Amino acid sequence: MDRIYKMHHRDSHCKARTGEIVLGHGTVKTPAFMPVGTNGTVKAMYHRTIEEIGYNLILGNTYHLYLRPGCDVLNSFDGLHGFSSWQGNILTDSGGFQIFSLSKLRKIFDEGIRFQSHIDGSRHEFTPEKVVDIQQVIGSDIAMVLDVCSPPDIDWKKTKKAMDLTHLWAELAIKRRDELFEKTGRAFRGNLFGIVQGGFYDDLRTESARTISQMDFPGIAIGGLSVGEEKEKFKYFLGLTADEITYEKPRYVMGIGSVDYILEAVEHGIDLFDCVLATREARHGTVFTDDGMLNLTRAFNEFSKSPIQEGCTCAACRNYSRSYMRHLFKCGEMLGGMLASEHNLTYLYNLIIKVRKAIEEDRFLQFKNDYLARFYANGGLTKQ
């Protein structure tokens, strides 16, 4: 297994660190936020705009891409890069979480998952091996193993069963990855990451983190967090899990996108994170500012000549007022969601640049405290 991660600097006062991950379509500086492009596109965004902001790693979803456009179409274009004309890196989730959410349409068994398509009700089956094969067709630069995501309210016995199955599937995924090379002479195009589970039980989390860390993965993801649990529980189990994962590999927390959760993850030495929050909220008129989340449709924006955020480099802030942005949303114009999405992704990208600088200067904790104190001064909402 080749090393893909190199740490540059660790803050002297906490576990926050900077580094880089070397992937097939370029080097990713870390910590890094990944925009979510579930279906091969980040909603309401041009690929070139994503690239111009500075991102070179976006997330796609194996479940959705498998159903549409399907492996035959993707294979004819030699993968998602050719199909979508995105030249940066792609991380693909295994689809396990999406299938997990289809509780009435799926059945988990030892060999994999049987499920019905949410599109047309057709029946399908995912095994750990098949998910590796699909991500090989997609051409993922980082691929995730199939796992069993536990809901936050199940008992210890059921959580352990899900964790044990996740570990078994991880072993089968590694075996399939290696078989692809033996059979074709072509190494798996992506870097296969293992996923830690164990729910909200200390002993299971610890066991899963240690087990996955010892497996032949070049990177590790922390799953099963930010699934509806209380914030304090998230923070506790994030710290517990991160402490048990090897620091030699890139570490990824799946599905977090609020600024407090991102900064909490960075403090614990997490390198990657993703979430649909930035673009989903943007399409409904809510945007990031240093003083909290701003709802552009609120009446106080009607005559405002200010940009969303002073100093922001996005198209909305460079060219338009809050008043005009409010007008776009009130009229239902698509441009409003497009501009707000660009703003939110630009804001998060620039925030992470500030985070890296603070780490390099051994002042991340002070940066985090100062930033969150201002952001949440009014409960996390901008009132003017």
User: Which residues participate in catalysis according to the annotation?
Assistant: 93, 274
List the structure tokens of 260.
């407090």
C-beta neighbour count of 381 within 10 angstroms: 16
Residues 123/99, Cβ–Cβ less than 8 Å = no
Q: H or E segment at 124?
A: strand 123-126
Q: What is the DSSP letter of 300?
A: G
Q: What is the DSSP letter of 52?
A: H
Q: Which of 141, 111, 140 has the alpha carbon at shortest distance from 126?
A: 111
Long-range contacts of 261-265 (CB under 8 A, 24+ apart): 261/226, 261/234, 262/33, 262/348, 262/351, 262/352, 263/355, 263/368, 263/371, 263/372, 264/234, 264/235, 264/238, 265/31, 265/238
Long-range contacts of 257-260 (CB under 8 A, 24+ apart): 257/33, 257/348, 259/288, 259/351, 259/371, 259/372, 259/375, 260/231, 260/372, 260/375, 260/376
Residues 339/325, Cβ–Cβ less than 8 Å = yes
Cα angle 267, 272, 35 (rounded to 5 degrees) comes to 125
Coil, strand, or helix at residue 202? helix
List the structure tokens of 270.
């997490």
Calculate the alpha carbon distances from 188 to 66, 132, 135, 226, 264 in Å.
18, 9, 9, 30, 33
Cα separation, 344 vs 183, whole angstroms: 44
Residues 19/32, Cβ–Cβ less than 8 Å = no
Cα separation, 340 vs 281, whole angstroms: 9
